[in-house]
Chains A and B, each alone.
Chain A
Amino acid sequence: MSGRKPYTRSMSGWWKRDPFFTAYMVREATSFIVAAYAIVLLVGLVRLGQGKEAYDGFMQALQSPISVVFHLVTLAVFVYHTWSWFQIMPKTMPMIFISGKRLEGATITRTGVAVAVVVTIVFLAFVMGVTR
């Protein structure tokens, strides 16, 4: 007769076990804020479709203290999203070889973040330019 009695451990609270897991869960949980921001933009779009009065009301609401707090949190979330997106990018990309040498993960991350910074500056400058 077999004397085996394998013991299976619980997974409850696994994300508290290792700081790496906690950082991962923070990355994933930022999605709730991303969804909230997308809904705010959608509301703005719907109000725009409803006419000037409705849209002005929406823009007015963006000046409220709640809106400011929400956008401060959202800004932090998006900056973290940008950083974490390019942090994991080397893992999600096919191997790239340049003249026989593999492109290193750190190079991919740095390039990604640099592109994001450039896009941010260009986009801000563009919006400032066309709305002047």
Chain B
Amino acid sequence: MSASEIKTIEIEVLRYRPEQDTEPFWQSFQVPFSHDTSVLEGLQSIKDDLDATLSYRWSCRMAVCGSCGMMISGKPKLACSTFLRDFYPNKVQVGPLEHFPIERDLVVSAEGFISKLEKITPYIVPKEPRTIEQGEYIQTPLQLKQFLQYSGCINCMLCYAACPQFGMNPKFIGPGLMALVHRYNVDSRDGAREQRMELVDEEDVGVWSCTAVGYCSEVCPKKVDPANAVNQNKVNSALNYFGRFLKPQGGQK
């Protein structure tokens, strides 16, 4: 099909309007699209021309803000970087991210995610405070590579929609934030590893809720590979577990 040719595709959207619905239901729309129409643009044309009550989150339209994560024909994806042409002539099903409570239509509640984010100390606590006169923190390329990949997370929560263990146990910190924990823990400038490891070691909260399904890394739009971060910390947590018996002041916590 030529780039400008307009066709029509069926988009099915999972609707939920808390003030009038007791449960979500699928609603179908016929949407015009061309070669470069994203799923997000499809939703925008529904909202503009067909049903102004449709709710969804979006912002940057270029896969960096992490707002438009949705279940697109069953897969967790960013709506802005998924294209309608790849589904045509079949229909596209668009639903809110799995494993999160539905707030309205395609909008999920991110409260649990945010409250965990606040708990993990998601910033560098300097190991040794330096004054401006002392200059910058020096880091080798290899030290940078230890965490660079994990710092690419955009908090889109696709990995949470890919994690059945989070779905069954919402207390689990989950793949994305565990990758962020790891990102700071392995940063050579950071000195707050110990307080983050308390969460990593904790029952039902830390890494041990992970059963290495591995789907989180498959769906990550930024190739953060959260499954790798989580599972490296199983080793760290096991070392903590057995190591505390070896330390002179072990077993305090």
Chain A residues in the interface with B (C-beta under 8 A):
3-9, 11, 14-15, 17-18, 20-21, 24, 28, 88, 90-95, 97, 100, 102
Contact = CB atoms under 8 A, between A and B. Distances in A.
B212 A20 contact: no
Contacts of B98: 9, 17
Contacts of A17: 74, 98
B232 A9 contact: no
Contacts of A20: 213, 215, 218
A95 B235 CA distance: 12
Contacts of B16: 7
Given A6-B101, A7-B102, 9 more contacts: A4-B18, A5-B19, A9-B98, A15-B164, A21-B164, A91-B225, A92-B212, A94-B235, A102-B145
B33 to A, nearest CB: 25
A-B pairs with lowest CB-CB distance, top 10: A6-B101, A5-B18, A91-B227, A92-B231, A7-B102, A8-B101, A24-B213, A20-B215, A91-B228, A11-B167
Contact of B23 (A6, A7, A100): A7
5 contacts: A7-B101, A8-B101, A8-B102, A18-B74, A91-B214
Interface residues of B, number: 34
Interface in B8-63: 16, 18-19, 23-24
B129 interface: no
A24 B215 contact: yes
Interface in B139-189: 141-142, 145-146, 164, 167-168
A100 B141 contact: yes
B109 A6 contact: yes
A24 B211 CA distance: 10
A94 B232 contact: yes
Q: Which of B74, B145, B214 has the most CB of A within 10 A?
A: B214
A21 B102 contact: no
A21 B161 CA distance: 12
Given A14-B164, A18-B215, A4 B103 contact: yes
A79 B141 CA distance: 40
B234 interface: yes
Interface string B85-114: 000000000000011011100000100000
B101 A88 contact: no
B67 interface: no
Q: Which of A88, A91, A97 has the most CB of B within 10 A?
A: A91
